[in-house]
């Protein structure tokens, strides 16, 4: 019998990217680095990185552990806690890039200044 299921290896599905983005936001909210968070959930930081980018899918049991460590309900990672509508993949990719750049900022003072700048630009638009 021929399988009619398409294999999409190498292609992130929008929901996987969404879950990864929400994971990254929740992790940053708690102040964990990828490495520190990975230790808390008994994974490598590389695996956390792949989850956050939507490259690897998060299993149900792993998502349950993640939700407990980050004090978030499981549905938060599906975006239900923020918005039940689907976020387009291009928007999620941009958000992921912004979060990555944000993590690279040297300290909280710089982050606070960047946030003020972004808010000012948004209000002026």
**Residue-level pLDDT at 2:** 52
Interval 51-102: pLDDT, tens: 999 899 999 999 999 999 999 999 889 875 445 356 676 777 787 788 788 8
78-115 b/e with 16+ CB inside 10 Å = b? ebeeeeeeebebeebeebbeeeeeeeeeeeeeeeeeee
Residue, of 79 and 33, whose pLDDT is higher: 33
Question: Where do the structural domains in the chain lie, given as residue ranges?
Answer: 14-124
* Whether domain 14-124 has CATH 3.30.420.40: no
């Amino acid at each position: 019998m021929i399988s009619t299921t398409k294999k999409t290896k190498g292609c992130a599905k929008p929901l996987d990217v969404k879950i990864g983005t929400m994971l990254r936001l929740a992790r940053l909210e708690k102040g964990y680095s990828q490495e520190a968070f990975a230790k808390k959930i008994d994974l490598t930081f590389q695996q956390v990185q792949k989850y956050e980018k939507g490259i690897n899918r998060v299993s149900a049991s792993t998502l349950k552990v993640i939700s407990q460590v980050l004090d978030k309900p499981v549905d938060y990672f599906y975006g239900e806690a923020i918005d039940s509508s689907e976020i387009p993949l291009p928007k999620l990719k941009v958000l992921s890039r912004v979060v990555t750049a944000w993590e690279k900022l040297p300290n909280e003072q710089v982050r606070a200044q960047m946030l003020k700048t972004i808010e000012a630009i948004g209000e002026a638009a």
